[in-house]
């Protein structure tokens, strides 16, 4: 039924579009893509909003937005769209290496970032997530995620022209630009929120606004708290309206109401706006939260997935070269669904944060054991075709301990006690721990907590330097390289976090800032010390050891086609609880296998060569590490993996 309705409606809609505009522009590709995707777009839009009497009006508006933004799309970007359509697996290649950074923290502002692109190129980074750049109220910004104007760059870091310039100069350097679109909420100072405050019903419908506590109380029965310390509860009283507003994150971040098609269309228009400014990839923030339902956690609802599918289908029409990243920090079984459920090819976001791997790696750092890591990886769902993970160690957010409780139990730990141990370990409260993390979002009601801190401070570099303990400094450097060796070889796009490449320590200056001091995530959002960064060229320095080590790993990664992301990873049981091992092969040349072995213990470990033979790996026994070119020591038919060391082995 849909198919017939959608075809005649499509014709009607196309006829109603402004004929002059259409005549003046070459719309051939637009029509072809719209025709190909319209059935799906119509069905999804109808599924979400079909009950409304004004459904057709919105359907018309949706197509208009797609057409208008297609017309506005610069021809250079349209050309890239075509190239990417023809080479649709382009982003699965091992040649992409990402970094997330704040333009102000990294360089000062957008223009200064432009001048520092050489530094990223020196390291080998060619995909840059420039953290939120948009106008936010001072002091109530949530690090850029409480947006006041979705189309205006924050004047402290530059202008809209600067971001265009940056995009151009990145494209010339064959670097990809990733920008955020905060799809789930706005600042309380956004124009829509202001209008709502002034009593405009149309704009009150953009949010979840309630006259009394009846509905909020029902919601609260099942909704968790995201920021229990700073922003307990999920609703905020607004004095001006005399009403309650849903605010899942901070009190000043108002959740958008996607059961209103006007909201969907506005946000789609904003996605296209940034796509047209030259963003190759859009990071969609907090996507798990897009649909709210009483009696649920209000995360991972089916409609949230439908909204993302609809956004993707519309993007395939207007800006098909642009990819989406899902930021869904949710349970392992839920994360993979943001590629699209029961699909073969990604149909929501092509890229998702591998938050499961991230948390598991930290478990291995604390326990020095890989039991939970192995278990978690074994159960990591396969990604879909034309989809890939963002593998990361640190980012601008906290480390949440979102493992599957059953896996923790399987590994012989008690889930509550084990999470307590991890928080104690990383905040340095556990005997023998040299980590210098801070607790984040402690929830007294549930006992939960998360962890802040830079990579270097969490793996003990800060403590080691304070104590002048050279051995410990070396171990910390090794841990930093070890963790990167995993994310660079795991399959997916590795995403480094700025500052980690030179061992940046915690920055406590946020404690002096009244707007920041209650949010410990600021401890790991540093300003780069460029004098320290210069030490990367001075052999013998910590900065040199880390930077040059990473640079080498990145360069080697780019040469290893087996590291492209085609679901070729095979986990290998090493019989040694301190080792992680997996093989990867090039799906086009199955013979060229690479074995990754990583040792999380600070003593050398043994790996039985029989295990390799059992897996049919390296029958010749003649193996060498692709990074150093050297062969590992084999003693009594056991390979020795150095303390906190790793290998990328090939025949
Ligand atoms: C995302 C961001 C985080 C922010 C939250 C609310 O999860 O990564 O920094 O606090 O959204 O916008
Ligand atoms: C929660 C949210 C995630 C956000 C984080 C910020 O984990 O699910 O979206 O990044 O909080 O701390």
DSSP 502-557: GTPPP-GGGGG-TTTTT-GGGGGSPPP-HHHHHGGGSTTSHHHHHHHHHHHHHHHH
Best residue among 400, 440, 453 to mutate for probing ligand 2's pocket (most ligand atoms within 8 Å of CB) is 400
Strands 253-255 and 185-187: antiparallel
Q: 2 pLDDT exceeds 70?
A: no
The whole-angstrom separation of Cα 607 and Cα 632 is 11
Which whole number is the average pLDDT over 475-502?
A: 98
> Does residue 234 lie within any of the structural domains?
yes
- Sole residue written with tokens 């909420």: 185
Residues 539-576: pLDDT tens digits? Answer: 999 999 999 999 999 999 999 999 999 999 999 999 99
Give the 3-state secondary structure percentages of the chain, helix then strand then coil, rounded to 5.
45, 15, 40
Pocket flag, ligand 1, residue 448 (CB < 6 Å): no
The three-point CA angle 402-405-407 to 5° equals 105
Lowest mean pLDDT among 185-189, 346-350, 440-444: 440-444
Which whole number is the average pLDDT over 473-480?
A: 98
Q: What is the pLDDT of residue 450?
A: 96
Q: How many CB atoms lie within 10 A of CB 190?
A: 25
Please give all residues whose beta carbon lies within 6 A of any atom in ligand 2, as ranges: 226, 286, 327, 329, 397-398, 400
CB 416 within 8 A of CB 425: no
Strands 438-440 and 450-452: antiparallel
Pocket flag, ligand 1, residue 280 (CB < 6 Å): no
CB 15 within 8 A of CB 63: no
Return the percentage of the chain with pLDDT > 90, whole number.
89
Contacts of 134 (CB under 8 A, 6+ apart): 144, 147, 148, 149, 150, 151, 152, 153, 154, 180, 182
The whole-angstrom separation of Cα 577 and Cα 605 is 10
From ligand 2's centre to the CA of 533, what distance in Å?
30
Q: How many separate domains does the chain show?
A: 2
> Does residue 572 lie within any of the structural domains?
yes
Pocket flag, ligand 1, residue 285 (CB < 6 Å): yes
Q: 1 pLDDT exceeds 60?
A: no
CB 328 within 8 A of CB 335: yes
From ligand 2's centre to the CA of 414, what distance in Å?
24
Pocket flag, ligand 1, residue 145 (CB < 6 Å): yes
Q: 187 pLDDT exceeds 80?
A: yes
> 559: which 2 tokens?
């040469």
- Alpha carbons within 13 angstroms on the beta-carbon side of residue 361 total 24
Best residue among 298, 398, 497, 518 to mutate for probing ligand 2's pocket (most ligand atoms within 8 Å of CB) is 398
Which of 221, 255, 289 corresponds to the end of one domain? 255
From ligand 2's centre to the CA of 378, what distance in Å?
25
Contacts of 457 (CB under 8 A, 6+ apart): 435, 436, 437, 505, 506, 524
Which residues are registered as beta bridge partners of 581? 597
The whole-angstrom separation of Cα 17 and Cα 521 is 48
Q: How far from 348 is each of 129, 315, 316, 386, 392, CA to CA, in Å?
A: 20, 10, 11, 11, 21
Return the percentage of the chain with pLDDT > 70, whole number.
98
> 317: which 2 tokens?
């029409």
Best residue among 178, 249, 283, 524 to mutate for probing ligand 1's pocket (most ligand atoms within 8 Å of CB) is 249
From ligand 2's centre to the CA of 377, what distance in Å?
22
Which residues are registered as beta bridge partners of 639? 607, 634
Q: With the CA atoms of 145, 147, 153 and 157 taken in that order, what torsion angle do they form, in degrees rounded to the nearest 10?
A: -50
pLDDT band at 340 (very low <50, low <70, confident <90, very high): very high
Pocket flag, ligand 1, residue 207 (CB < 6 Å): no
Lowest mean pLDDT among 214-218, 231-235, 619-623: 619-623
From ligand 1's centre to the CA of 145, what distance in Å?
6
Q: 11 pLDDT exceeds 60?
A: yes
**Closest residue to atom 7 of ligand 1, CA basis:** 286
Q: How many CB atoms lie within 10 A of CB 174?
A: 9
CB 502 within 8 A of CB 543: yes
- Any idea how long the chain is? 651
Q: What is the pLDDT of residue 287?
A: 98
- Alpha carbons within 13 angstroms on the beta-carbon side of residue 178 total 27
Q: 591 pLDDT exceeds 80?
A: no
Q: Where are the beta strands (DSSP E) in 327-367?
A: 351-353
**Nearest ligand for residue 146 CA:** 1
Which whole number is the average pLDDT over 370-382?
A: 95
Atom of ligand 2 nearest to the CA of 398: 12
H or E stretch covering 160? helix 160-172
Best residue among 182, 255, 285 to mutate for probing ligand 1's pocket (most ligand atoms within 8 Å of CB) is 285
Strands 388-392 and 493-497: parallel
Contacts of 86 (CB under 8 A, 6+ apart): none
Residues 422-457: pLDDT tens digits? Answer: 999 999 999 999 999 999 999 888 888 999 999 999
Strands 351-353 and 388-392: parallel
Residues 601-615: pLDDT tens digits? Answer: 999 999 999 998 888
Residue, of 193 and 26, whose pLDDT is higher = 193
> Does residue 220 lie within any of the structural domains?
yes
Q: What is the pLDDT of residue 587?
A: 81
**Closest residue to atom 1 of ligand 2, CA basis:** 226
The DSSP 8-state label assigned to residue 285 in this structure reads: T
> Does residue 618 lie within any of the structural domains?
yes
Q: What is the pLDDT of residue 548?
A: 98
The SS3 assignment for 385 reads: strand
* Closest alpha carbon to 129 in 454, 369, 396, 421: 396
- Alpha carbons within 13 angstroms on the beta-carbon side of residue 53 total 0
H or E stretch covering 495? strand 493-497
Mean pLDDT of the chain: 95
pLDDT band at 20 (very low <50, low <70, confident <90, very high): low
Residues 268-295: pLDDT tens digits? Answer: 999 999 999 999 999 999 999 999 999 9
The three-point CA angle 512-515-114 to 5° equals 90
From ligand 1's centre to the CA of 238, what distance in Å?
22
Pocket flag, ligand 1, residue 142 (CB < 6 Å): yes
From ligand 2's centre to the CA of 329, what distance in Å?
6
Best residue among 180, 230, 329, 442 to mutate for probing ligand 2's pocket (most ligand atoms within 8 Å of CB) is 329
**Nearest ligand for residue 452 CA:** 2
* CB-based burial label for 126 (10 Å; 0-12, 13-18, 19+): buried
Q: Which domain holds residue 586?
A: 562-650
Q: How far from 508 is each of 8, 108, 259, CA to CA, in Å?
A: 62, 19, 42
Which residues are registered as beta bridge partners of 210? 244
pLDDT band at 4 (very low <50, low <70, confident <90, very high): low
Q: How many CB atoms lie within 10 A of CB 610?
A: 11
> Does residue 70 lie within any of the structural domains?
no
Cα separation of the two ends of the chain: 58
Atom of ligand 1 nearest to the CA of 142: 10
Contacts of 431 (CB under 8 A, 6+ apart): none
From ligand 2's centre to the CA of 454, what distance in Å?
17
Atom of ligand 2 nearest to the CA of 330: 8
Pocket flag, ligand 1, residue 327 (CB < 6 Å): yes
> Does residue 579 lie within any of the structural domains?
yes
Which of 228, 255, 282 corresponds to the end of one domain? 255
**Nearest ligand for residue 330 CA:** 2
**Closest residue to atom 2 of ligand 2, CA basis:** 329
From ligand 1's centre to the CA of 428, what distance in Å?
26
> Does residue 218 lie within any of the structural domains?
yes
**Nearest ligand for residue 522 CA:** 1
Q: Which residues are catalytic?
A: 285, 327
The whole-angstrom separation of Cα 644 and Cα 474 is 10
> Does residue 213 lie within any of the structural domains?
yes
Which whole number is the average pLDDT over 405-414?
A: 96
Q: 298 pLDDT exceeds 70?
A: yes
Q: Which CATH number covers residue 608? A: 2.60.40.1180
The whole-angstrom separation of Cα 121 and Cα 127 is 10
Q: What is the pTM assigned to this prediction?
A: 0.96
**Nearest ligand for residue 143 CA:** 1
Q: Which CATH number covers residue 191? A: 3.90.400.10
């Amino acid at each position: 039924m849909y198919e017939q309705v959608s075809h005649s409606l499509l014709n009607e809609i196309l006829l109603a579009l402004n004929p002059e505009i259409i005549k003046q522009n070459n719309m051939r590709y637009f029509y072809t893509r719209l025709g190909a995707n319209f059935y799906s777009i119509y069905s999804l839009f109808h599924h979400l909003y079909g009950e409304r009497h004004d459904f057709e009006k919105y359907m018309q508006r949706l197509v208009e937005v797609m057409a208008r933004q297609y017309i506005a799309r610069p021809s250079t970007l349209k050309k890239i769209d075509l190239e990417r359509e023809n080479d649709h697996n382009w982003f699965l290649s091992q040649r992409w290496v990402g970094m997330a950074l704040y333009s102000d923290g990294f360089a000062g502002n957008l223009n200064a970032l432009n001048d520092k692109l050489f530094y990223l190129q020196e390291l080998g980074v060619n995909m840059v997530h420039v953290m939120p750049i948009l106008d936010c109220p001072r002091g109530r910004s949530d690090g850029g995620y409480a947006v006041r104007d979705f189309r205006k760059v924050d004047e402290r870091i530059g202008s809209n022209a600067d971001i265009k310039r940056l995009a151009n100069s990145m494209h010339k350097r064959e670097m990809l630009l990733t920008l955020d679109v905060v799809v789930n909420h706005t600042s309380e100072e956004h124009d829509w929120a202001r209008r709502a405050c002034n009593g405009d019903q149309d704009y009150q419908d953009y949010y979840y606004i309630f006259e009394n506590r009846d509905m909020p109380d029902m919601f609260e029965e099942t909704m968790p708290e995201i920021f229990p310390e700073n922003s307990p509860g999920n609703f905020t009283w607004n004095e001006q309206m005399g009403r309650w507003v849903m605010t899942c994150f901070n009190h000043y971040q108002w959740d958008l109401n996607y059961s209103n098609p006007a909201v969907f269309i506005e946000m789609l228009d904003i996605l296209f706006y940034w796509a047209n400014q030259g963003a190759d990839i859009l990071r969609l923030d907090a996507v798990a939260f897009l649909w709210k339902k009483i009696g649920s956690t209000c995360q991972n609802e089916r409609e949230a997935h439908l909204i993302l599918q609809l956004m993707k289908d519309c993007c395939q029409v207007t800006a098909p070269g642009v990819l989406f990243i899902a930021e869904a920090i949710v349970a392992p079984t839920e994360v993979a669904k943001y590629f699209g459920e029961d699909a073969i090819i990604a149909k929501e976001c092509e890229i998702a944060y591998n938050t499961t791997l991230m948390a598991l790696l930290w478990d291995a750092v604390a326990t020095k054991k890989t039991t939970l890591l192995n278990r978690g990886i074994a159960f990591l769902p396969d990604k879909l075709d034309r989809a890939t993970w963002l593998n990361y160690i640190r980012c601008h957010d906290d480390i949440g301990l979102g493992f599957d409780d059953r896996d923790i139990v399987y590994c012989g730990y008690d889930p509550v006690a084990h999470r307590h141990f991890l928080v104690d370990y990383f905040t340095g409260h556990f005997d023998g721990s040299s980590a210098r993390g801070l607790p984040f979002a402690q929830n007294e009601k549930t006992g939960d907590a998360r962890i802040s801190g830079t990579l270097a401070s969490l793996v003990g570099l800060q403590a080691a330097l304070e104590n002048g303990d050279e051995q410990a400094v070396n171990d910390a450097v090794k841990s930093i390289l070890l963790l990167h060796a995993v994310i660079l070889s795991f399959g997916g796009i590795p995403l480094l976090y700025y500052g980690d490449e030179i061992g940046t320590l915690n920055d406590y200056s946020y404690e002096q800032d009244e707007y920041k001091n209650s949010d410990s995530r600021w401890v790991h959002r540093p300003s780069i010390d460029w004098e320290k960064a210069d030490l990367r060229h001075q052999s013998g320095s910590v900065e040199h050891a880390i930077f040059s080590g990473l640079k080498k790993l990145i360069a080697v990664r780019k040469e290893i086609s087996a590291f492209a992301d085609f679901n070729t990873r095979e986990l290998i049981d090493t019989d040694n609880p301190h080792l992680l091992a997996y093989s990867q092969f090039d799906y086009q040349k199955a013979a060229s296998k690479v074995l990754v072995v990583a040792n999380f213990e600070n003593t050398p470990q043994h790996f039985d060569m029989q295990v390799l033979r059992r897996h049919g790996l390296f029958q010749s026994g003649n193996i060498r590490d692709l990074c150093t070119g050297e062969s590992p020591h084999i003693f009594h038919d056991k390979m020795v993996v150095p303390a906190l060391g790793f290998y990328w082995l090939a025949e």
